[in-house]
Amino acid sequence: MLHIVNKSPLTSNTLDSCLSTAAGGDLLLIEDAVYAATRGNAAESRLKAAMEKFRVYVLMPDLAARGMGERMSDGVTPVDYAGFVDLTVSNKSCQSWL
């Protein structure tokens, strides 16, 4: 399953809800959720721990738009819009976490 999170971990518990509820799969961080995929942020340790059960992806255009492209955490896979489409096609289902 593809889990899509778009809320910042600094202003919402959406990422934590996903990580504590979902059994695993692919996790794609988009929009303000991309802050979770950067070094030195408050959610970094939770995201690193989640990498044991999730493959973590970040939408690079969103990360770059926030000026954070150089701060991407190790273990996070960058994808462009075509990669986003590929993830939706390669997963049987998608869950957007609100």
Rounded average pLDDT over 39-60: 94
**Span 52-80, average pLDDT:** 96
Classify residue 51 by burial, with Cβ atoms within 10 Å: 0-12, 13-18, 19+.
middle
- Output the pLDDT for position 36: 95
- Which whole number is the average pLDDT over 11-23? 96
> How many domains are there within the chain?
1
State the burial class of residue 61 (Cβ atoms within 10 Å of its Cβ: 0-12, 13-18, 19+). Answer: middle
Average pLDDT, integer, range 49-54: 95
**Residue range(s) defining the domain that contains residue 15:** 2-97
Which letter does DSSP use for residue 36 in this model?
A: G
Neighbouring residues of 45: CB distance < 8 A, sequence distance ≥ 6? none
Backbone angles phi, psi at 2, to 5 degrees: -95, 120
Q: Of all residues in the chain, what percent carry a pLDDT higher than 70?
A: 100
44: domain CATH number? 3.40.1260.10
Determine the average pLDDT of the residues in 69-95: 96
Which residues partner with 38 through β-bridges? 72
Percentage above 90 pLDDT, the chain: 96
